[in-house]
Amino acid sequence: MKSDVSVQPMSHTLVSRLCQVLEPRRVHTEAADIDLYKRDASNIEGRAGVVCFPITTTEVQDVIRICAEFNQPFVARGSGTGLAGGATPLDGAVVISTAKMNRLLSVDPINRTAWIEPGMLNLDLTREVAHLGLHFAPDPSSQQSCTIGGNVANNSGGPHCLADGVTSSHILACEVVLSDGSLVVLGGEEPEPIGLDLRGAFIGSEGMFGITTKICVRLMQNYSSVKTMLMDFTSVEAGAETVSAIIAAGMVPAALEMMDQLCLEAVEAYIHAGLPTDAAAALLVEVSGLPHAVDEETERISDIGRAHGARTIRVAQDEAERALLWKGRKTAFGAIARIKPNYYLHDTVVPRRKLNEVLQEVYRIAKRHDLLVLNVFHAGDGNLHPLLVFDKREPGVMERVHAAGEEIVRVSVAAGGVLSGEHGIGLEKRDFMPLMFGPHDLHAQSAMRVAFDPLGIANPFKVLPSPSRCGDAHDIGEDMWV
């Protein structure tokens, strides 16, 4: 990417000031170090000027105040697992990593809440409270490595968010450092905090509104009974119709995931779980609650599956088998390396009734661009995750990948869907925002952004396609994509 904004090399004075408020060993300026932070898990690269590792709220404030003094853009970063370029630093921005702020600060098992730091890993939180019979419900596939601060930034979801809701349903409050270094608490532990729901505005703001330094999360009680089943079909259409029929019957399972044949083949070669690799599609369904209700719902879902052509229905017999089935779903993205070394993972949402229609179009798009596509996604809420797999060493392949990706986005929105279900907009889908929003909508979003960040230095050039302030310029060039 070549921005129209002229940016000078990182000021030695700015770096010296940063080293005064942080230990110098937590201010990285060496090329080999900062090169590791030029991108997140997306295919979009940028350039970091300096990488800072604060460990306290005060240190975050100090770093941001210095950025404000020098009018220097900054980018918050957790584990870098984002897939939309949201944590990609542009034009030498200061990267503020919260990875070292990873403590569980307090737990209230009675009210089922906890205060944590943003660098805590998603799965670590559940592990820390497991002895209390509690867990944190949002469970992205990257939950072993993604941070809860990153989950808040993107309002992340996960397989078990169908019934329990995505991240915004499980965050009560955020302590936030704004772009001038001031500290605010958005939301609160009380059921109905007074005033506007600025907590709700902050969650999903992708680092444009400031950096969270403490988070109050809502914890869920572990279910007394859980059943996981895998049913397979001879067509994707039959699997999609089963999904719609389950929801239409008034049931909302804990999870309802779909994998197509190419995905099943890749995963089975990796985990050897006895997956039906000859099936066109398979549904992974999980039901949780009280034992009697779980048994009844499992039987009803099985009946619906058979009525729509399920060939086999496998119910996990113990926790080990259940964990193996879920390992297959959550390691699907890594398993595709057995097919091709690179992938481009998309994230759109379509109405459930349009699942099969859009999936068939995705297959046609991939074929037209001479690409392989795997589909593994949150079928219950229509959140698609087509994986375009490729080898970037092949001449011209990136142009085909990007063209196919754009077509998938346009087809999804045309079907009544939305740009993103959980990965965010970032750089990846920024210029597609007009597909969903008119000029007045985008202006309102820009006004909200300016209200939180009047200086325009908190993760600039992300999400909004038109300048949010005079002087902003947006231009993603082909050299930005890798």
Assigned domain for 381 exists: yes
Assigned domain for 210 exists: yes
- Residues 326, 364 within the same domain: no
Assigned domain for 1 exists: no
Q: Whole-model pTM above 0.85?
A: yes
Is residue 283 within 8 Å of residue 230, measured between CB atoms? yes
- Residues 375, 390 within the same domain: yes
The reported pLDDT for the residue numbered 51 is: 98
Domain ranges, residue 344: 340-414
CATH number of the domain that residue 369 is part of: 3.30.70.2740
> 96 CB contacts (<8 Å, ≥6 apart)?
52, 54, 60, 63, 64, 74, 75, 76, 77, 211
- Residues 137, 239 within the same domain: no
If one counts every other C-beta atom within 10 angstroms of the C-beta of residue 194, the result is 6
Final residue belonging to a domain, choices 97, 122, 148: 97
Which two three-digit tokens encode residue 199? 């907590």
Closest of 278, 290, 129 to residue 217, by C-alpha = 129
Final residue belonging to a domain, choices 364, 380, 414: 414
CATH number of the domain that residue 236 is part of: 3.30.70.2190
Three-class SS of residue 357? helix
- Residues 134, 210 within the same domain: yes
Instruction: Provide the number of structural domains found in the chain.
Output: 4
How does strand 74-77 pair with strand 93-97? parallel
The reported pLDDT for the residue numbered 192 is: 82
Q: How remote is the C-alpha of 122 from its chain's centroid?
A: 12
Is residue 389 within 8 Å of residue 336, measured between CB atoms? yes
Q: What's the 3-state SS for 412-436?
A: HHHCCCECCCCCCCCCCCHHHHHHC
- Residues 212, 127 within the same domain: yes
Assigned domain for 420 exists: no
DSSP annotation string for 42-85:
SSB---EEEEE---SHHHHHHHHHHHHHTT--EEEESSS--SSS
Is residue 319 within 8 Å of residue 228, measured between CB atoms? no
Burial class (CB in 10 A: 0-12, 13-18, 19+), 388: buried
CATH number of the domain that residue 195 is part of: 3.30.465.10
- Residues 175, 283 within the same domain: no
- Residues 245, 290 within the same domain: yes
- CA-atom Rg of the chain in angstroms: 23
H/E stretch holding 267 reads helix 261-271
- Residue 460 and residue 19: Cα distance in Å, rounded? 24
- Residue 11 and residue 416: Cα distance in Å, rounded? 47
- Residues 217, 229 within the same domain: no
Distances (CA, A) of 184 to 116, 210, 213, 367: 16, 10, 10, 50
DSSP annotation string for 156-212:
---TTHHHH--GGGGEEEEEEE-TTS-EEEEE-SSSS-SS--HHHHHTT-TTSS-EE
Assigned domain for 470 exists: no
The reported pLDDT for the residue numbered 467 is: 58
Run means of pLDDT, 10 residues per run, the chain, 482 residues: 44 95 97 95 94 98 97 97 96 97 98 98 98 97 96 96 96 98 96 88 98 98 96 97 96 96 93 95 97 97 98 96 93 84 93 95 97 94 95 96 97 97 96 96 96 97 72 45 62
- Residues 317, 378 within the same domain: no
- Residues 247, 213 within the same domain: no
- Residue 26 and residue 108: Cα distance in Å, rounded? 33
Assigned domain for 20 exists: yes
Which two three-digit tokens encode residue 346? 């998309």
If one counts every other C-beta atom within 10 angstroms of the C-beta of residue 331, the result is 16
- Residues 175, 232 within the same domain: no
Final residue belonging to a domain, choices 381, 414, 447: 414
- Residues 193, 244 within the same domain: no
- Residue 414 and residue 429: Cα distance in Å, rounded? 15
If one counts every other C-beta atom within 10 angstroms of the C-beta of residue 92, the result is 19
Assigned domain for 446 exists: no
The reported pLDDT for the residue numbered 479 is: 53
Assigned domain for 436 exists: no
- Residue 430 and residue 467: Cα distance in Å, rounded? 12
If one counts every other C-beta atom within 10 angstroms of the C-beta of residue 451, the result is 11
